[in-house]
Amino acid sequence: MLTGRPAADGDRHPAQVSAPWAAPYLYLGVHGPPPTQVMAATGVRRFTLAFIQSDGSCSPAWQGQDPLTGGAEHAAIRSIRAAGGDVAVSFGGSGGTKLGVACRTPTALAAAYRKVIDAFRLRAVDVDVEDAEISDVAVRQRLISALVLVRRRDPRLMISITMGAEPTGPDHAGRDLIMRAAADGLQVDAWTIMPFDFSSRVSDMGLVSVQAAEALKSDLMRAYHEAASAAYRTMGISSMNGRTDAGEIIRVTDFQAILRYVRAHHLARFAFWSVNRDHPCAAGQAADSCSGIGQVPYAFTSIVARYRG
């Protein structure tokens, strides 16, 4: 069970929050839907808010440019908590300058993470490791060393690390990240793969997502010298709804297959990119703001909301 610090007025969150986290990504930088509207329509109680990046220095900012507090993101967190929900905040993502790159030492990076954790009294964070944060070996180690410091200060904080995957599971850089974390004694609550944007075309995205997760399980068992049951409980899947950047199609039936898998093995996290895209496209609508397939609005969010562990 995760417990939190006392909250200031206007920043209150539920007294107790437990894993697993069924928390789809909500990107507030592009006119995302009102989160309380989504909560009422789907029953989802948690969101992963994207993204915290570098403002050009070793300092966190929403989308790398919006102020950390006092803006639309802060207002959204307050509204979600007032409605009985909670949030994780995600660092990184695709594009922009990552804190793992901008902050030159583990101590500085940990301080940047803690600034966000303390500002919103967070019980959960996500580090979406992409681009230079995953490709550069020195940055990978810096990120792990920083999270060791964060964990030491707040052992009950839920930490998710999210990374890309192939049908065969994490790539070499992802496996190296896992091995470095295990070697440094970092306990990660949810090693989360993004099983889409594969280098080769896949037809059954639900099946291949499960295959990739099984490969992640094996990587965790080797790195942490643990049983399959323990590995499953420190895993997560974060898919993408509808048409992906690589042209794959992820359907509602694929999400239903993933839901059966995360339920069967009690995974720590179930997410997807993104709530903003969880409706069909209108004429002229940008691909990053709709799913690109025929669907009922919030169909994918509703499936994620059904996961209770």
Q: How far apart are CA 22 and CA 305, in angstroms?
A: 6
pLDDT of residue 181: 98
> Where are the chain's structural domains?
28-305
Does 8 or 195 have the greater pLDDT score? 195
Banded pLDDT at 15 (limits 50, 70, 90)? very low
179-234 pLDDT per residue, tens: 999 999 999 999 999 999 998 889 899 999 999 999 999 999 999 999 999 999 99
Q: Are 164 and 198 in contact (CB under 8 A)?
A: no
pLDDT of residue 5: 38
Is 130 tagged catalytic? yes
Q: How far apart are the first and last CA of the chain?
A: 13
pLDDT of residue 8: 42
Residue from 73, 130, 133, 248 carrying the catalytic annotation? 130
Does 288 or 236 have the greater pLDDT score? 236
Banded pLDDT at 32 (limits 50, 70, 90)? confident
Domain 28-305 has CATH 3.20.20.80: yes
What value does the mean pLDDT of the chain take?
Answer: 93
